[in-house]
């Protein structure tokens, strides 16, 4: 079975009511590849606006979620609250949270489990720093990050996961991974899933690439056999996001 191409737009901490409404209106009116699943991830304050203004064919993702159901957790959002607001996805383990907010592998794993148990899909981000790549540790790092999540999920849970390979050195730097670098890591991740979870999960799971994807480099990356889509930061705020969604046309 062919894996459905998946493109996420991670707006990060960018945008206003006006600019986000403009991005959504542009997407609502664009001719988009019907074979691509598109998920929009605005800052939490704008999740409701995004859900109410975006065409229902678009999914909406929170950029973060907490692993507890409710209570005294100042500043956090629960899975149930996201669900209540029509948000059907959450990003987990983004490097900006791992590196800046010091979130560790097991926290990402607990959040992933909580999100899936509460009915959300998870875009699970993994990726190595430049230092880790240069010391030959890329595959060790991304499989360690994925392995922490694997230790908490059931085999069935993986149907709700999209893995995003986002090398930290490529995020927001304009330095995109080469098609070979991306394909190599995606293939290693798929092999890890086949060996440690199941061959059928490996066959079906989408592994998307993130890190300086733009309308110029997306087509070559999209041709790689193990690249099933993109997680786009900066370029998702621009009209050219449409060309990235349509990378396979
Ligand atoms: P950029 O596309 O801005 O490099 O960001 C990638 C990213 O971190 C998406 O989650």
The domain spanning residue 183 has which CATH number?
A: 3.20.20.70
The verdict on residue 29 lying in a domain is no
- Report how far ligand 1's centroid is from the alpha carbon of 208 (Å): 12
- Strand, helix or coil for residue 156: helix
Confirm whether 128 is a catalytic residue. no
Instruction: Give the pLDDT band of residue 1 (cuts 50, 70, 90).
Output: low
Q: Is 43 in the pocket of ligand 1 (CB under 6 A)?
A: no
Cα dihedral 79, 80, 82, 86 in deg (nearest 10)? 130
Residue 99 CA to residue 220 CA, distance in Å, equals 29
Residue 41 lies in a domain: no
Answer whether residue 18 is part of any domain.
Answer: no
Ligand 1 pocket test target in 229, 233, 235 with most atoms within 8 Å of CB = 233
Catalytic residue among 37, 96, 166, 186: 166
- Domain limits for position 66: 60-241
Mutate-to-test residue for ligand 1 from 168, 232, 241, highest number of ligand atoms within 8 A of CB: 232
Residue 72, pLDDT score:
98
Residues 15, 28: Cα–Cα separation, whole Å: 18
**Is 138 inside a domain boundary?**
yes
* Residue located nearest, by CA, to atom 1 of ligand 1: 233
In this structure, the residue with its CA closest to atom 2 of ligand 1 is 233
Is 33 part of any domain?
no
Q: Is 172 in the pocket of ligand 1 (CB under 6 A)?
A: yes
What is the tens place of the pLDDT at every residue in 42-89?
999 999 999 999 999 999 999 999 999 999 999 999 999 999 999 999
pLDDT, tens digit (0-9, with 9 covering 90-100), for 159-196: 999 999 999 999 999 999 999 999 999 999 999 999 99
| 28 within domain boundaries | no
Write down the pLDDT at residue 40: 99
| pTM score, whole prediction | 0.98
Give the number of the atom of ligand 1 that is nearest the alpha carbon of residue 170: 4
DSSP-based three-state secondary structure for 185: helix
The predicted structure's pLDDT at residue 210 = 98
Question: Cα of 235 to ligand 1 centre, how many Å?
Answer: 8
The two structure tokens encoding residue 5: 């191409």
Number of structural domains the chain divides into: 1
Query: How many angstroms from the chain centroid is the CA of residue 232?
Result: 8
Inside any domain, residue 134:
yes
Confidence label for 151 from pLDDT (cuts 50, 70 and 90): very high
The verdict on the CB of residue 212 being under 6 Å from ligand 1 is: yes
Better-scored residue on pLDDT, 222 or 2? 222
83 annotated active-site? no
64 lines ligand 1 (CB under 6 A): no
2-48 pLDDT tens trace: 899 999 999 999 999 999 999 999 999 999 999 999 999 999 999 99
Question: Is the CB–ligand 1 distance for residue 217 below 6 Å?
Answer: no
Distance between CA atoms of residues 102 and 178, nearest Å: 28
């Amino acid at each position: 079975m062919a894996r459905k191409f998946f493109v996420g737009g991670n707006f990060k901490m960018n945008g206003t009511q006006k600019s986000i409404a403009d991005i959504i209106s542009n997407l609502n009116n664009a001719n988009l590849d019907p074979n691509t699943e598109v998920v929009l991830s605005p800052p939490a304050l704008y999740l409701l606006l995004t859900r109410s203004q975006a065409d229902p064919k678009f999914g909406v993702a929170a950029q973060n979620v907490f692993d507890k159901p409710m209570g005294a957790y100042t500043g956090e959002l629960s899975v149930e609250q996201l669900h209540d607001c029509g948000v059907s996805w959450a990003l987990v383990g983004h490097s900006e949270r791992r590196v800046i907010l010091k979130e560790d592998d097991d926290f990402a794993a607990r959040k992933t489990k909580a999100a899936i148990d509460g009915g959300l899909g998870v875009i699970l981000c993994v990726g190595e720093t430049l230092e880790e790549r240069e010391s030959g540790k890329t595959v060790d790092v991304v499989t360690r990050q994925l392995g922490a999540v694997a230790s908490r999920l059931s085999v069935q849970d993986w149907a709700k996961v999209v893995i995003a390979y986002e090398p930290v050195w490529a995020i927001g730097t304009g330095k995109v991974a080469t098609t070979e670098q991306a394909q190599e890591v995606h293939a290693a991740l798929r092999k890890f899933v086949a060996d440690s979870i199941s061959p059928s999960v490996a066959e079906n799971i989408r592994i998307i690439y993130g890190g300086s994807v733009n309308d110029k480099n997306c087509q070559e990356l999209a041709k790689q056999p193990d690249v099933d889509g993109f997680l786009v930061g900066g370029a998702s705020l621009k009209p050219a996001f449409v060309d990235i969604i349509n990378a396979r046309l």
